[in-house]
């Protein structure tokens, strides 16, 4: 039997052991916490005293400092006389701090009306969890003033680069436009974006503990590097002349679209590249993609009779015919080449000289002249004059080039079709190149649009240099062709291409269009075009006018394109101060004296002149 005292000692001993275990565990936990705390103190001491920590700066920046991305300040586009075509300006944009912005319903409606944006768009931006968001970019000064007058918390005005086009819709499909981030989206703005685009700028702003901005004007004081400036060969005045004439005759003929190109036939400089329809790049809110196409470079079409002078020029050059040789041109107006293959002339003539073949635009006789050249030479002639070939010096977005199948593939009537401008396609620039060579003495030129590019400091980073010109025709051949094409306007198919002050020459073309559905030539779809030059003895300009699908009959190029050409030539040459080469008739020649029957002596007829 165990004594009472021993039983008590046995009961107490285990309890002491349990208390000792908890005490040990608490000791180790305390030591661990103390060690960690010591490490934190040591690390903090090390960071703050001995080492500059990028991490702490990053954490602080993320909490109290935020970057605003400002679009680059683009270089300018100028015409040949250094008139601005596209410049960068500072325009206000509306930004929000969504963490602070909290308008009332009435304020939200008012803001929607001022900025002309849906209330849902405002709500969407206001719900963002960021400290910065754009509400609307590049607004007007009036809109900016109205928003600032509302004095809304969290709404800020930021001046950022915006694009302005002084000429509005003139040359718009060629020049293009930029988006809100100042990136080129169309035309030269897109093609030359790498040259025009400057360096982006990130401006930092701070926020206080409540998220409100701490932003001073000094934050925008840093100069923003701009892009390069580009100087074009375009002349803004000639561009406006071409566009005014083109829009008039597109409307008169009720055409689907049209374009006109004006160039220097000796240098290849493009003085104007007009398109219709067009758009206003200063207001793209209602922009239609169909209004943005640069048809002068992006449209390939069958040209029709405007290619006939190339055939005659080559035949004259190779002495396969002469200007006065008489050809049998089928009085019936039909020439049968085989079963179901017939060449037609709308205005048949029994006999025509080589010159008259162009003057009266005979399909039958141009084929007979081309037959002397042969398929391979005709193919090479078209290529030599620049048809169906790309233009590396005008690499515009959407630009295309014509197509001409290999001469070995020409079967049946295809050879004849090529001779009078059907069965292959060209572009406006290709025709400008061909006619420049045709009338400038026979030297091949390549059209170009960019004269030079300069850096912001003024240094030239690119300068166009003239390339060695290949001679395709003798000067006398070119002179003969100019004389023949002058007769086209005085006694042939293009009397409406004449002007009051200058002699003109050129060729009409009325080409059928292939229906994309039936793959056959449409009954009433035509391309009416005219290409010519002036003055005849010393051409200063070559002008090409193309009207696509005129709906007013007759669809002839001589009816609709020729008068547009005449208007462009008359106004452009006067602007260029080119002397008139048409003698002004003397008063006695213009109004012969009337004979006074009563006295038997002559008297002068009274005249009136309107200036």
The confidence score (pLDDT) of residue 204 equals: 52
Residue 159 in any domain: the answer is yes
CATH of the domain at 466: 3.40.710.10
Q: Any bridge partners for residue 103, and if so which? A: none
Cβ 527 vs Cβ 398: under 8 Å: no
Please indicate, yes or no, whether residues 42 and 95 belong to a single structural domain of this protein: no
Please indicate, yes or no, whether residues 59 and 116 belong to a single structural domain of this protein: no
Using the predicted structure, report yes or no on whether residue 44 has a pLDDT greater than 70. Answer: no
The segment with the largest mean pLDDT, out of 156-165, 279-288, 487-496, 587-596, is 487-496
Please indicate, yes or no, whether residues 32 and 98 belong to a single structural domain of this protein: no
Contacts of 355 (CB under 8 A, 6+ apart): 323, 324, 484, 487
SS3 track for 39-81: HHHHHHHHHHHHCCCHHHHHHHHHHHEEEEEECCECCCEECCC
The confidence score (pLDDT) of residue 459 equals: 94
Biggest alpha carbon–alpha carbon distance for the chain = 184
Lowest mean pLDDT, pick from 221-235, 544-558, 588-602: 588-602
Give the tens place of pLDDT for each residue, 377-394: 999 999 999 998 877 667
Lowest mean pLDDT, pick from 19-28, 254-263, 300-309, 407-416: 19-28
Q: Which two tokens stand for residue 61?
A: 């920046």
Q: Which of 397, 393, 390, 394 is nearest to 191 (CA)?
A: 397
Please indicate, yes or no, whether residues 37 and 131 belong to a single structural domain of this protein: no
Contacts of 551 (CB under 8 A, 6+ apart): 253, 254, 255, 524
The segment with the largest mean pLDDT, out of 197-201, 307-311, 386-390, is 307-311
Among 65, 98, 125, the domain-final residue is: 65
Listing DSSP states for 552-575 in one string gives SSS--HHHHHHHHHHHHHHHHHHH
Average pLDDT over the chain, rounded to an integer? 84
The confidence score (pLDDT) of residue 58 equals: 52
Please indicate, yes or no, whether residues 103 and 221 belong to a single structural domain of this protein: yes
Q: Any bridge partners for residue 462, and if so which? A: 453
Q: Is 590 helix (H, G, I), strand (E, B) or coil?
A: helix
The confidence score (pLDDT) of residue 605 equals: 36
Please indicate, yes or no, whether residues 327 and 436 belong to a single structural domain of this protein: yes
Could you tell me the residue range of the domain that residue 240 belongs to? 236-261+273-284+295-575
Q: Which two tokens stand for residue 44?
A: 């903090």
Q: Which of 143, 107, 138, 144 is nearest to 123 (CA)?
A: 107
Share of the chain above pLDDT 90, in %: 54
Region 363-367: mean pLDDT is: 96
The confidence score (pLDDT) of residue 53 equals: 52
Please indicate, yes or no, whether residues 525 and 422 belong to a single structural domain of this protein: yes
pTM of the model: 0.78
Using the predicted structure, report yes or no on whether residue 316 has a pLDDT greater than 50. Answer: yes
Give the tens place of pLDDT for each residue, 520-534: 888 889 999 999 999
Region 127-148: mean pLDDT is: 82
Please indicate, yes or no, whether residues 79 and 48 belong to a single structural domain of this protein: no
The kind and range of the H/E element at 587 are helix 587-590
Please indicate, yes or no, whether residues 462 and 391 belong to a single structural domain of this protein: yes
* 346 band by pLDDT with thresholds 50, 70 and 90: confident
Residue 195 in any domain: the answer is yes
Query: Residue 275, preceding bond cis, omega within 30 degrees?
Result: no
Residue 597 in any domain: the answer is no
Please indicate, yes or no, whether residues 243 and 162 belong to a single structural domain of this protein: no
The confidence score (pLDDT) of residue 220 equals: 45
Please indicate, yes or no, whether residues 169 and 246 belong to a single structural domain of this protein: no
The rounded distance, in Å, linking the Cα atoms of 494 and 530 is 9
* 285 band by pLDDT with thresholds 50, 70 and 90: confident
Residue of 151 and 233 predicted with greater confidence: 233
Residue of 104 and 497 predicted with greater confidence: 497
* 352 band by pLDDT with thresholds 50, 70 and 90: very high
Residue 360 in any domain: the answer is yes
Pairing between strand 201-207 and 213-214?
Answer: antiparallel
Among 65, 87, 122, the domain-final residue is: 65
Lowest mean pLDDT, pick from 47-56, 279-288, 298-307, 600-609: 600-609
Listing DSSP states for 175-211 in one string gives H--B-TTS-B-SHHHHHTHHHH----EEEEEEE-TTS
The rounded distance, in Å, linking the Cα atoms of 369 and 319 is 11
How many domains does the chain fold into? 3
Residue of 32 and 106 predicted with greater confidence: 106
* 322 band by pLDDT with thresholds 50, 70 and 90: very high
The confidence score (pLDDT) of residue 68 equals: 54
The rounded distance, in Å, linking the Cα atoms of 493 and 349 is 14
CA dihedral over 511, 516, 521, 526, signed as positive or negative? negative
Using the predicted structure, report yes or no on whether residue 6 has a pLDDT greater than 70. Answer: no
Q: Which two tokens stand for residue 582?
A: 């048409």
Cβ 400 vs Cβ 298: under 8 Å: yes
Cβ 229 vs Cβ 198: under 8 Å: no
Please indicate, yes or no, whether residues 49 and 141 belong to a single structural domain of this protein: no
Residue 582 in any domain: the answer is no
Residue 606 in any domain: the answer is no
The confidence score (pLDDT) of residue 126 equals: 83
Residue 609 in any domain: the answer is no
Residue 59 in any domain: the answer is yes
Lowest mean pLDDT, pick from 197-201, 396-400, 494-498, 519-523: 197-201
Lowest mean pLDDT, pick from 360-374, 412-426, 510-524: 510-524
- Counting Cβ atoms within 10 Å, is residue 311 exposed (0-12), middle (13-18) or buried (19+)? buried
Q: Any bridge partners for residue 28, and if so which? A: none
Q: How far is CA 165 from the centre of its chain?
A: 13
CATH of the domain at 129: 3.90.1310.10
């Amino acid at each position: 039997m165990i004594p009472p005292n021993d039983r008590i000692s046995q009961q107490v001993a285990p309890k002491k052991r349990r208390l000792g275990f908890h005490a040990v565990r608490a000791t180790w936990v305390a030591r661990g916490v103390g060690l960690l705390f010591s490490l934190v103190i040591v690390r903090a001491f090390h960071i703050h005293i001995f080492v500059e920590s990028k991490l702490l700066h990053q954490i602080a920046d993320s909490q109290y400092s935020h970057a605003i991305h400002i679009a680059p300040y683009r270089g300018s586009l100028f015409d040949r006389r250094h008139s601005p075509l596209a410049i960068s300006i500072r325009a206000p944009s509306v930004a929000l701090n969504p963490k602070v912005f909290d308008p009332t319903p009435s304020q939200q409606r008012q803001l929607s009306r001022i900025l002309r944006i849906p209330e849902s768009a405002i709500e969407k931006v206001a719900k963002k969890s960021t400290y910065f968001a754009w509400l609307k970019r590049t607004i007007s000064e009036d809109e900016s003033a109205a928003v600032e007058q509302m004095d809304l918390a969290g709404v800020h005005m930021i001046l950022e680069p915006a694009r302005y086009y002084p000429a509005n819709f003139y040359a718009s499909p060629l020049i293009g436009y930029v988006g809100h981030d100042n990136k080129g989206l169309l035309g030269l703005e897109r093609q030359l974006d790498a040259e025009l685009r400057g360096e982006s700028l990130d401006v930092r702003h701070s926020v206080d503990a409540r998220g409100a901005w701490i932003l001073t004007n000094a934050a925008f004081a840093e100069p923003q590097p701009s892009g390069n400036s580009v100087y074009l060969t375009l002349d803004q005045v000639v561009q406006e002349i071409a566009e005014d004439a083109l829009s008039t005759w597109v409307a008169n003929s009720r055409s689907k679209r049209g374009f006109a190109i004006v160039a220097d036939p000796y240098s290849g400089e493009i003085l104007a590249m007009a398109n219709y329809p067009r758009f206003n790049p200063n207001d793209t809110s209602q922009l239609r993609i169909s209004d943005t196409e640069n048809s002068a470079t992006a449209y390939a079409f069958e040209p029709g009779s405007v290619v006939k002078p190339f055939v005659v020029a080559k035949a004259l050059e190779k002495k396969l015919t002469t200007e006065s040789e008489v050809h049998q041109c089928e009085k019936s107006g039909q020439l049968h080449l085989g079963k179901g293959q017939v060449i037609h002339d709308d205005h048949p003539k029994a006999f025509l000289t080589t010159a008259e073949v162009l003057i009266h635009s005979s399909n039958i006789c141009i084929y007979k002249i081309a037959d002397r050249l042969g398929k391979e030479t005709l193919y090479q002639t078209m290529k030599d004059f620049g048809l169906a070939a790309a233009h590396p010096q005008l690499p515009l977005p959407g630009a295309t080039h014509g197509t001409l199948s290999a001469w070995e593939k020409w079967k049946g009537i295809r050879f004849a079709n090529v001779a009078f401008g059907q069965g292959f396609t060209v572009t406006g620039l290709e025709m400008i190149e061909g006619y420049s060579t045709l009338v400038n003495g026979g030297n091949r030129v390549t059209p170009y649009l960019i004269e030079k590019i300069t850096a912001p400091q003024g240094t030239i980073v690119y300068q166009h240099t003239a390339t060695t010109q290949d001679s395709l025709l003798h000067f006398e051949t070119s002179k003969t062709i100019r004389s023949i094409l002058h007769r086209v306007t005085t006694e042939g198919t293009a009397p409406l291409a004449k002007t009051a002050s200058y002699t003109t020459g050129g060729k009409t073309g009325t080409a059928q269009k292939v229906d994309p559905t039936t793959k056959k030539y449409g009954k009433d779809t035509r391309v009416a075009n005219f290409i010519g030059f002036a003055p005849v003895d010393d051409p200063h300009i070559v002008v090409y006018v193309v009207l696509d699908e005129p709906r007013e009959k007759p669809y002839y190029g001589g009816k609709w394109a020729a008068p547009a050409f005449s208007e462009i030539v008359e106004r452009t040459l006067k602007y260029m101060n080119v002397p008139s080469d048409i003698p002004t008739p003397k008063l006695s020649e213009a109004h012969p004296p009337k004979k006074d029957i009563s006295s038997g002596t002559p008297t002068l007829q009274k005249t009136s002149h309107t200036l």
